[in-house]
Amino acid sequence: MNGTSPTKPFNLAIVGGGITGLTLAIVLLQHNVQFTVYEAASKFGEIGAGVGFGPNAIRAMSLISPLVQEAYQRCRTNQWESKQNVWFGARVGDMRKAGDDGTFEYAGRPGMKIGDEMFEIHYPNLEDISGVGGVHRAHFLDQLVHLIPSSVARFGKRLVDVSGATDGSEDVVLHFADGTTAQHTAVLGCDGIKSQTRKSLLGSDTWNAVFSGKCAYRGLVPMTKAIELLGEEKAMNSQIYFGYHGHILTFPIEKGKTMNVVAFASRESWTTPEWVVRVTKEELLADFRTWGPTAIAIISAMERHDVWALFDHPPAPTYYGTKPRICLVGDAAHATTPHQGSGAGMGIEDCYILGNLLGEADSVEDLDRAFKAYDEIRRPRTHKLVTTSKEAGRLWDFELEGHEDDVDALQRNMENRMHWIWNHDLRAELERARVIFRQPA
């Protein structure tokens, strides 16, 4: 995907070359919008391993370009055919839920054992999309890289400040840690949860990311070992294990070669400056000492022992500004906890809406109207994700008021809570944004 010669009277800076930044670049290429991608690292890359995309995200990919959806499909890991429409199989992993006989009651039936599947949560009708599932972040990004020309990228460019140009152009000047600068008509901030563009736009620590009360141990288990420990069905299909003040997710990635593991635990605070810390196996097991043999087997098999502090963003009062022109996209706008598996997908939705609005812009003044329409349409939905995701973390951890460890109530909640995310009509949302964009100034 090389695009044709730019025809717009403006040029844009995309700050951040992760999944959101490259997806937005792909949309802009289709509309002949001139842009440059600035990436702090020496090459494009993603941290973390597995990431899941729901039906809304796959739909957004297909609306952006068949090439994006094909890139995703090349990385996607299939579950069993009989489990293709299953988000997660739900189980209890914490022995404290069981009575003295090692069992608990579920759906009016006694005798349920720790680790047994209680129910499955299914995706909605998937006729209009081609498959959901997990991918390795870095592998998906590698596929997206092939869809943009190498000439648009600038590496080793860590943004430290943004200012207005002094030449009367109303342009934006980007200041980088290496002492260089770049001038563009506007800046699109795709620089993640620690976004410098967010700080430049909002201008107050009030809007910086805050600790969510949760941390996550992330790791990988070779699938051959996972099958040996858990059996094929558990290892090769997505599972969630509930517990007191923690839960565990597993799902296959890398075309079934690897089982991705994320083990969550509650923390009152996070005082370490680093957000990712190496820990010993003993420290990891200490957070799950009351859990059953299945959970212990999973976390004991993890090849690395990294704990990630989970932060999210307070709801920003705006996603854009005009002096200087900055617009926030993806995690820079609305970083969320991962408990509903929709953060990356929301970023791709952002790219579909914003990229198409920018494609309709024919003047510098149009940029302001495009940003306004994007902000008005996207901010309520993405703020809701941040709020409900934090709530979901408490639900999975038997902490949500009115639910606690009532697995019947948890099932009823879980069966409905994702519908507003998955069943979203993106075409209709874009049309509403276009109506706002076309309103007279």
Q: Rounded to an integer, what distance in angstroms lies between the CA atom of residue 13 and that of residue 11?
A: 7
Q: Rounded to an integer, what distance in angstroms lies between the CA atom of residue 70 and that of residue 81?
A: 20
Q: Which of 68-82, 174-188, 227-241, 253-267 has the lowest mean pLDDT?
A: 68-82
CATH at residue 15 = 3.50.50.60
What is the model's pLDDT at position 254?
86
CATH at residue 247 = 3.30.9
Q: Rounded to an integer, what distance in angstroms lies between the CA atom of residue 93 and that of residue 297?
A: 11
> Which DSSP state fits 151?
G
What is the model's pLDDT at position 4?
47
What is the model's pLDDT at position 123?
87
- 3-state DSSP percent of the chain in helix, strand and coil, to 5: 40, 25, 35
Question: Given CA atoms 255, 258, 259, 264 in this order, what sign does their dihedral have?
Answer: negative
Q: Say yes or no to pLDDT of 113 above 90.
A: yes
Are residues 382 and 284 part of one domain?
no
Which secondary structure element, helix H or strand E, spans residue 198, and what is its range? helix 196-202
Are residues 162 and 178 part of one domain?
yes
What is the model's pLDDT at position 226?
96
**258 assigned to some structural domain:** yes
**58 assigned to some structural domain:** yes
Are residues 219 and 203 part of one domain?
no
List pLDDT tens digits, range 116-148. 999 999 887 655 555 787 888 888 999 999 999
Enumerate residues 6+ apart whose C-beta is below 8 A from 4: 32
> Which DSSP state fits 373?
H
Tell me which of 191 and 41 has the higher pLDDT.
Answer: 191
Read off the pTM: 0.94
Buried-exposed string 399-425: b where 16+ CB fall within 10 A, e elsewhere: bbeebebebeebbebbeeebeebbebe
Q: Rounded to an integer, what distance in angstroms lies between the CA atom of residue 117 and that of residue 231?
A: 13
Q: Which of 47-56, 92-101, 228-237, 336-345 has the lowest mean pLDDT?
A: 47-56
- Domain ends where: 292, 312, 332? 312
Q: Say yes or no to pLDDT of 239 above 80.
A: yes
What is the model's pLDDT at position 95?
96
Are residues 63 and 112 part of one domain?
no
What pLDDT band is residue 47 in, cutting at 50, 70 and 90? low
Are residues 156 and 96 part of one domain?
no
Are residues 37 and 171 part of one domain?
yes
Q: Rounded to an integer, what distance in angstroms lies between the CA atom of residue 329 and that of residue 351?
A: 7
Are residues 139 and 90 part of one domain?
no
Q: Just list the catalytic residues.
A: 218
Nearest alpha carbon to residue 329 among 382, 260, 392: 382
Tell me which of 159 and 78 has the higher pLDDT.
Answer: 159
**245 assigned to some structural domain:** yes
Q: Rounded to an integer, what distance in angstroms lies between the CA atom of residue 285 and that of residue 319?
A: 41
Residue 357: give the domain boundaries: 11-77+133-208+313-398+419-437
**413 assigned to some structural domain:** no
Q: Say yes or no to pLDDT of 329 above 90.
A: yes
The pLDDT mean for the chain works out to: 92
What pLDDT band is residue 5 in, cutting at 50, 70 and 90? low
Are residues 146 and 51 part of one domain?
yes
- Domain ends where: 312, 335, 363? 312
Are residues 252 and 160 part of one domain?
no
Cβ–Cβ < 8 Å for 190, 18: yes
Q: How far apart are the first and last CA of the chain?
A: 35
What is the model's pLDDT at position 255?
86
Enumerate residues 6+ apart whose C-beta is below 8 A from 113: 98, 102, 103
**2 assigned to some structural domain:** no
What is the model's pLDDT at position 75?
87
Question: Which tokens belong to 107?
Answer: 């759906």
What is the model's pLDDT at position 1?
46
Are residues 280 and 158 part of one domain?
no
What pLDDT band is residue 3 in, cutting at 50, 70 and 90? very low
Q: Say yes or no to pLDDT of 152 above 50.
A: yes
Considering the chain, what percentage of its residues have pLDDT values greater than 70?
96
**How many structural domains comprise the chain?**
2
What is the model's pLDDT at position 427?
97
**430 assigned to some structural domain:** yes
- Domain ends where: 312, 347, 373? 312
**5 assigned to some structural domain:** no
DSSP 199-260: HHHH-SGGGS-EEEEEEEEEEEEEHHHHHHHH-HHHHHS-EEEEETTEEEEEEEEGGGTEEE
**408 assigned to some structural domain:** no
Are residues 381 and 353 part of one domain?
yes
Are residues 57 and 167 part of one domain?
yes
Q: Distances from the Cα of 239 to the Cαs of 21, 86, 158, 333, 368, in angstroms?
A: 30, 10, 38, 30, 44
Question: Which tokens belong to 64?
Answer: 């952006």
